[in-house]
Every structure is written in structure tokens, then in C-alpha cells.
A and B are shown apart, each in its own frame.
Chain A
Amino acid sequence: MLDKVIFFFFAGVAILSAALMVTRRNAIHSAIFLITALMATAGIFLQLRAEFLFVTQIILYVGGIMVLFIFVIMLVRLDVALHQIRFRLQRLVALLVVVALGAEVSVMFWVARKIPGDGLLIRGSAPVDKLPPNTEALAKSLFSSYLLPFEIASVLLLVAMVGAVVMAKKRTDAQ
């Protein structure tokens, strides 16, 4: 019961702030609402007993990526974008795409519900007090089964860092 209350609270906050993020004109407002949505998702992770991801989400997404976004919004002059009317046809296309995609996935869920067995509505899972410590289990899996992807991810982050620095760097006349 408490699980349900917590889930619906965070889900409501996430969907509401995501909708506000997409509709606000001001990019800074969008960024703030995206932060709220990401925090609510972190709450959902905690409700799913993924404590490590909960902390990672807040530190990395909210503390790292969103600060980067807000810095760039402040660097870039946006007042032109504020006063322009959005393209009408695009909104129609978006509506069509979203309705088609939503209907497709909903039908998929509905069909999967009727599959013999439990389908997608699986209710059984380990009770909370039987779960292994989350961070320990995650570390064991990450550094044994997924060691190679982990190393590749570190190379990817290095490449992204170098790429971002090279692109954002000011060109000097000497070059």
C-alpha cells in the first residue's frame, strides 16, 4: 500500500514536470522542470530498491549533466527564441507520431497480458528483506560479467570528453 502511494506520487510528479518541460518557452524553466522529473525518477528507483542508481541519478544527472545544460543555456543568447511562434505543422506531426506510437505499445502490452503464464504482469519478486545489498550486488555484476563493457564505457567517456573540449574550444589566430 505504501509502495503504491510512493509510486503514484513520484510518477505524477515525473509526468507533470516532464509535460511542463516540453511546453515552457523559456529554456531555463525547461531545465528546472527536467531536474524535477529526474529527481522524481530517482524516487521511483528508490521505490524499486535500486539505491545505488538512486544516488547515481541525483549526483550524475541532476548534479552533473543538468549543471552543464544550464551553463550552456546561460552562454548562448536565447532571447530570440523566446518570441518566435512554433511551427504549427510540426505539432500536428508530433501528435500523429505520438498517438501511433502510444497505440502501438499499448496494444503490445494488452496482447502480452493474455499470453499464458503471467505475461507482462509479473507479481512475484524477491521480498525486500531478502534482497542482497544493492551496491554490493551491482559491483559484483559490473566487475565480473560486465567488465569489458565497463572498460569500453570508460574509453567512450574519454573520447566524449576530448571531443567536447575540442569542439567548445575557441579557435586562435595561430591555427
Chain B
Amino acid sequence: MMPASYYLFLSLALFLIGAIGVITRRNVIVVLMSIELILNAVNINLVAFSRIFGDVAGQVFALFIIADAAAEAAVGLGIIIAFFRNRETVLADEMDLLKW
């Protein structure tokens, strides 16, 4: 068995790459994909600790996170399609309808 720190650092790396994507990208679809990457990084942590402690609860939580990610992707992409129909853009800095 490998030490838990390997998985923690892999998860940290994926999380940080996802965070970079969320901050730097202007395309909202790619921002949503980066959020999926972040959720995925969290899942690695949960499954690794589930294996280390021999308790299957961590995998149940990971399952719930996958369900959440699916719901989030569906609603997010629905919003993007509705917004694109109105404003013809998917760039985050052009979405300024609520700006005064």
C-alpha cells in the first residue's frame, strides 16, 4: 500500500490546475469543465481515504459528488444555452447584464 500523501498531492495538483482554469479562462464552458476537474480531484481524496481506513463510506460520498456534478453540468449548460440565445456570447466578461 502506498502512503496517503501521494494521493493527496495528486488531488492537490488537479485541484490547483482546475482553479487556474476557473480564474483565467473567459469561455464559460471551459470554466464549467474546470469545475468538473475540481470535483474530480476531491473524489480522489475521498476514495483514497476510503481505501486507507477500510470504510466504504468515502466511496458513497464520491458517488454523491458525481451525481452533484451531473446535476451541476446539466443546469450550467442549460443556462449557457439560454444565455447564448439571448446575447450570442459565451465569454464571461461579456456577461454583464447585472452590472450597473
Q: Find chain B residues with CB under 8 A from A94 CB.
A: 19-20, 23-24
CB pair B2–A3 under 8 Å, yes or no, is yes
A/B pair count, beta carbons within 8 Å: 226
CA–CA, A163 and B81, complex, Å? 12
By the criterion of a CB under 8 Å from any partner CB, how many residues of chain B are at the interface? 71
Known A18-B17, A167-B75; contact A57-B81, beta-carbon cutoff 8 A:
no
Binary contact readout B47-70 vs A (1 if CB under 8 angstroms, 0 otherwise) = 110111110110110111011111
Binary contact readout A127-160 vs B (1 if CB under 8 angstroms, 0 otherwise) = 0000100100110111001100100010011011
CA–CA, A18 and B44, complex, Å? 14
Q: Which residue of B lies closest to A4 (CB)?
A: B2
**Chain B contacts to A: CB under 8 angstroms:** 1-10, 12-14, 16-21, 23-27, 29-30, 32-34, 36-37, 40, 43-44, 47-48, 50-54, 56-57, 59-60, 62-64, 66-75, 77-82, 84-85, 88-91, 93
**Chain A contacts to B: CB under 8 angstroms:** 3-4, 7, 11, 14-15, 18-19, 21-22, 27, 30-31, 34, 37-38, 41, 44-45, 48-50, 52-53, 56-57, 60-61, 64-65, 68-69, 72-73, 75-78, 80-81, 84, 86-87, 90-91, 93-94, 97-98, 101-102, 105-106, 109, 113, 120-126, 131, 134, 137-138, 140-142, 145-146, 149, 153, 156-157, 159-161, 163-168, 170
